[in-house]
Amino acid sequence: MQSLRHSFKDQTMLFIFVGVLFLVGVIFGALMVNALSLEQQQDLARYLGNYFVTVDQGSSEIEQVTYWNIALLHLKWVGLIWICGLSVIGLPGILILDFLKGVLIGFTVGYLVGQFSWKGLLFALVSVAPHNLLVIPVLVLCSVAAISFSLHIIKNRVLMHRHGNLTRPFANYVMLTVVMGALMLGIASFETWVTPAMMRWVTPMLIQ
């Protein structure tokens, strides 16, 4: 437990860096909304209109399919970050994935607020915010672990030309990723069955 606390303390700067990268992505995504053409805004508005109607009606069969789609999407993010952490050249890929995740969240929230004003903000608070408050810390942990492992390879294999044993660091890296993947499955359950219930409280205001 003490070694775990020391590990977190040593990686504080990495946590801050990845967190700031997410935040920059969110801001960039929100600003991207202003770059949409009128035609793109109309297409998105039509898509959202259909989506609101689907959410308002609800369906258990749709929810079952949705769970696995959401779970696989989250696991892909974790898996891609894990793969990028296995090599030196994958290090920029981790940063790009973190930035893109922030952009997606920022764009979604920015568009909802820009299109529906306070109603869009309310919808974002029940549809985007709850599960992402869980997803983002998981991805930050995965990213910091991936960056740390990648830097460990650079330090020991590239810069210092050592051929030390990577078994223990690799085992820890795999174990953390598996735990984070399991957490993502739980988050997918929340996103599939809890989030739509909250969304159904708000959608009637948006389809009036």
> Widest CA span of the chain, in angstroms?
66
Average pLDDT over residues 55-64: 58
Using CB atoms within 10 Å of the CB of residue 196, give its burial: 0 to 12 exposed, 13 to 18 middle, 19+ buried. Answer: buried
Alpha-carbon gap, residue 193 to 122, rounded angstroms: 19
Range of the domain at 163: 2-206
pLDDT above 60 (res 127): yes
For residues 162 and 21, which has the higher predicted lDDT (pLDDT)? 21
Q: Which range among 73-77, 86-90, 169-173, 200-204 has the greatest average pLDDT?
A: 73-77
Q: How many domains does the chain have?
A: 1
Average pLDDT over residues 73-78: 96
Pick left, alpha or beta for residue 59 (phi over 0 → left; psi -120 to 50 → alpha; otherwise beta).
beta
> Which candidate, 73, 103, 84, 101, places its Cα nearest to that of 144?
84
**What is residue 104's predicted lDDT score, i.e. its pLDDT?**
95
Average pLDDT over residues 174-185: 96
Cβ count near 122 (within 10 Å): 17
Alpha-carbon gap, residue 93 to 99, rounded angstroms: 10
What are the DSSP calls for 59-90, one per residue?
-HHHHHHHHHHHHHHHHHHHHHHHHHTTSSTT
Under 8 Å between Cβ of 130 and 138 = no
